[in-house]
A and B are shown apart, each in its own frame.
Chain A
Amino acid sequence: MDTLSSLADGFVIAMTFQNLILALLGCFLGTIMGALPGLGPSNGVAILIPLAFSLGLGATPSLILLTSVYYGAMYGGRISSILLNIPGDAPALMTCIDGYPMAQNGRGGEALALSGFASFIGSFLATWGLVLLAPQLVKIALAFGPAEYFALFALAFATLGGVSSTNQAKSAFAAMIGLGLAMVGVDTQTGVPRFTFGIVHFYDGIDFLVAIVGLFAISEVFIFIENRHGSADAEGKKVELGRLTPSWKTFWGSFPTIIRTSLVGFLAGVLPGAGASLGSFISYSMEKRLLDKEGTFGKGDPRGVAAPEAGNNAAAGGALVPMLALGVPGSGTTAVLLAVLLALNITPGPLLFANNPDVVWGLIAALFIGNFILLLLNIPFVGIFIRVLLVPPRILMPIVAMVSFVGIYGIAGSTFDLVVMVGFGALGWLFRKMDVPLVPIILGVLLGNNMESNLRRAITISDGDWSVLFSSPLSMTLWAISIIGFVLPIFVGRFIPKKAKKLPETVEEEVSN
C-alpha cells in the first residue's frame, strides 16, 4: 500500500500541463526516431539531452521528456521493420522476420496495430514490475556472475537454430562472422588492439548500428537496383493495404504469447548486459519453439510479430531496474539516462528510492502516462504509417539509403563509418543471395564482447578452471535449456525421418547437387 500511495504522489508530480506536453512531444519524436534506420532509442535520448537542458527543465520534467523518447523509440522501431524489412534499431530486429511477410501479404496494418498493442502490454506489465518488484528484482541481477552471463549468451546462440532453420551451417557461419566482427578493436580486458590493422577507427570496434543499417537497409537498396527490371512492374501492381486493426481472433490468438514474452523480456531487461535485444530475441525463439507446429513462423504469423515487440518493450522497462536501483546501465539507452541523472545531480543506486522519491515516482508515473500516449498515438497512426507502402520503391529506396547515411553520419560524424556501412551493404547483398541469414550476424556483433569478457572473467576468477562455467545451479539450468530445448531438436529431427517434414526437400537438394 505504501508503494501505491507513493505512486499516487508520483502521478501528482507528473500530471502537470507542462509535463504532459513534454511526454507527448517525447513520444512523438521518439516514435519517429525509432522508425528511422540508424536512430534508435539510445541515440534518440542522447540527441535530445541538449534540448532538455536548453529548455532549462528541472530533473523530473527532463526525465519525463527523455523516458518518453525512450519508450517512443522502442515503439517506433517496429514500423520500419514491418513495412520495409529494415529494423530501426537492434531490438526491432526480430520483428522483421514475421512483420515484413505480413506486410507483403497485405496485412501490414494488422501487423502494425497488433505490435502496437503488444508493445503497450509489454511496457505496461514491465512498469508494474518496476513498481512492485524493483527491490526484489535486484536479487536476480545479483544471481548472475560472469559464468551465468556466459551461459545466458550461449543460450541465445543455441536458439539460433530454431530461428533461421533453412541451413544450420550457414546460420552458424553467420553467427561466427558476427562474433568475429565483435572482436575487432581494443581488447576490453587487457587493452591490446586486435584485428585493427593499425587503423585507429577500428580501435573503437565496429558499431553494431553501422552493421545493422548496412546489412539490412543498404543491402535492400542493392536488391532493388539488381532487380529493377524484374519488379519495375511492381509499380503497376495495386498495393494491398488491408485492414488496419487485427480481428479479435488474431488478437486473442496472440494474447498468451504477449503475456509470456512480456515476462521473459522483462527478466532479460533486468539483467545488466542482456537488455532489449536479447529480450526480443529470446522471446521470439521461445514462442517459435512452443507454437510453431505448422511452420507458419517466418511466413507472416501474427504471433511472431507480437512476441518480439512485447518482449523488447518489456525489456526496456526492465532495464530501468538495475539503472535506478544499482546505478548500473543495462543497455546503451539506460547508460545515456544514467548520465542525465548524474548531470542533474541525482545519484542512482541503492538509496535513490529513499533519497529522491519524488524523482523516482514521478518518473514511474511518467512511464505509465507515456505508454498510454504511445498507444493513443500509434493505433490511429497505423493508417498513416501504412501509406509508406504506397510510395513506389524507385523513390522510397533512395530515401531509405539517404536516411541511413544521415542516421549514421549525424551521430559519429565519421565518413569512415559510412564507407564501412556501404561495405556491409555489399556483404548483406551477397549473403542474401547465398541464403546466409543476417540475424545471427547482428546477434554476434551485439553480444560478442560481453560473451568473451564474461568467459574470461569467469576463468580468471577460477584460476584457469574451465569447469566453473557449469558449476552453479543457475548456469547448469541455462545450459540445460540450451541443449535440451534448442540444440538437441535440430539433430533429433534430422535422424527421425517422420518428424523431419523437410526431409524430402533436403534429399532432392542433395541429389540435384
Chain B
Amino acid sequence: MSDRIFGAVGLLLAALFAYSAMIIEESFLSDAVGPKAFPLIIAAILAVCSLTILLKPDAAPKWPTLPRFVELVASIVVMVLYAEFLPIVGFVIATALASAYLTWRLGTSAIQSVVVGISIAVGIYIIFHLLFGLSLAKGPLGF
C-alpha cells in the first residue's frame, strides 16, 4: 500500500514539475532547445517510474509507531529552530542546546546530556572557528 501511495504522489509531483516547466518565461533570445525541454523530459520519465512503482509495488516498509513518529517530528522542529536561532543567540549557545536535546532524546541521562551538549559546541567551535577560521554565527556574546 505504501508504494501505491508513493507512486501516486510521484505522479502528482511529475505533473506539478511539468506544469512549472510549461510556465517558464522564455526570453526573446533563446537557444534551439530552450529552457523547457529538458525539464519536460525529466517529468515524463518521472511519471513513467511513478506509474511502475504504483502498479508493481514492493512490500510495505515497517513504519514507526505514533510516539516514535512524534519524536521524529519533534527533532525536525528542533533542527529548524536551531537554524533560525543560530544567528540570533550565537553559535555556541544554540549548538549546546540543540545537541543536548538530541543526545537526551537518543537515550542519555539529562545531566550527562547537558555536559555532552556543551562539549560538542565548544569542541566544534575550537576546530572550525579557531583552527580553520570559518566564520560561525556570532551571537550577542560574540560566540
Contacts and interface: CB of A to CB of B under 8 A. Distances in A.
Q: Is the interface of B mostly helix, strand, loop or mixed?
A: helix
B29 A183 contact: no
Given A167-B58, A191-B27, A429-B72, A228 B106 contact: yes
A97 to B, nearest CB: 20
A172 B39 CA distance: 15
Given A402-B121, A405-B82, A410-B135, A192 B116 contact: no
Interface string A44-57: 00011011000000
A33 B133 CA distance: 13
B83 A190 contact: no
B56 A418 contact: no
Nearest to B33: A456
B72 A222 contact: yes
A452 B71 CA distance: 41
Given A394-B103, A401-B99, A418 B86 contact: yes
Contacts of B72: 222, 225-226, 429
B58 A176 contact: no
A345 B120 CA distance: 42
Most buried by B among A192, A406, A513: A406
A218 B6 contact: no
A398 B116 contact: yes
B31 A460 contact: yes
B89 interface: no
A198 B96 CA distance: 35
A450 B121 CA distance: 38
A470 interface: no
Contacts of A409: 86, 136-137
A169 B32 contact: no
Given A177-B46, A422-B80, A464-B32, A226 B39 contact: no
B106 A410 contact: no
Contacts of B3: 434
A395 interface: yes
- Secondary structure at chain A's binding surface: helix, strand, loop or mixed? helix
A169 B34 CA distance: 28
A357 B87 CA distance: 47
A47 B133 contact: yes
Interface string B100-112: 0011011110000
Given A410-B128, A422-B80, A425-B79, A176 B42 contact: yes
B31 A190 contact: yes
Interface in A241-269: none
Nearest to A393: B106
Interface in A456-484: 456-457, 459-460, 463-464
Contacts of A426: 76
9 contacts: A173-B46, A176-B49, A192-B25, A226-B64, A228-B71, A393-B106, A406-B91, A419-B80, A435-B58
Interface of B: 2-3, 6, 10, 17, 20-21, 24-27, 29-35, 38-39, 42-43, 45-46, 49-50, 52-53, 56-59, 61, 63-64, 68, 71-72, 75-76, 79-80, 82-84, 86-87, 91, 95, 98-99, 102-103, 105-108, 116-117, 120-121, 124, 127-128, 131-137
Given A402-B99, A419-B84, A456-B33, 20 more contacts: A39-B132, A48-B132, A169-B56, A183-B38, A183-B39, A190-B27, A192-B24, A221-B75, A226-B72, A398-B99, A402-B120, A415-B84, A415-B86, A418-B82, A429-B72, A433-B63, A434-B6, A434-B61, A456-B34, A457-B31
Interface of A: 29, 32-33, 39, 47-48, 50-51, 167, 169-170, 172-173, 176-177, 179-180, 183, 187, 189-192, 194-195, 218, 221-222, 224-226, 228, 232, 393-395, 397-399, 401-403, 405-406, 409-411, 413, 415, 418-419, 422, 425-426, 429, 433-435, 452, 455-457, 459-460, 463-464, 509-510, 512-513
